[in-house]
Amino acid sequence: MRLEECVEHADECAQEVVNVWGQLSSAGHAADFTPEFKALFEKACRYRTVKENTDGFREVKSARGAGPETATHEALFAKAIAEETAVCESFCKEYLDFREKHELNAPGK
């Protein structure tokens, strides 16, 4: 998977990380998480939070329709989108690095 593909599917990638964390935690393996996986999990959660906030801006903007936008609203929306993009790319880079490292070390590879 390339970075562009990961960004396109960032929601699914973040959900995958959260699911793995949940499954392993439920099975009593939380103490076994590597610092690398913990960092990836934190980035996945950060991405999801930022995405949720930006989606809130999108919903408000959509509900307002074609009405006049204040400069403050537009600036906040632009800032939210820029933050979402940066956090998404950061998460995806770490996600891809983690996958590559662990797929190469997987048995049978």
pLDDT, the chain, mean: 89
What pTM does this model have? 0.85
The alpha carbon dihedral of 38, 43, 49, 51 has a sign of: negative
Radius of gyration of the chain (CA): 17
Domains of the chain, by residue range, sit at 3-104
What is d(CA 78, CA 72) in angstroms, rounded to the nearest whole number?
Answer: 10
3-state secondary structure (DSSP) of residue 109: coil
Instruction: Report residue 54 CA to chain centroid gap.
Output: 12
What was the pLDDT predicted at 59? 87
What is d(CA 7, CA 3) in angstroms, rounded to the nearest whole number?
Answer: 6
What is d(CA 51, CA 99) in angstroms, rounded to the nearest whole number?
Answer: 22
- Residues 77, 50: contact at Cβ < 8 Å? no
The share of the chain scoring above pLDDT 90, in percent, equals: 69
What was the pLDDT predicted at 34? 93
pLDDT at 108 exceeding the cut of 50: no
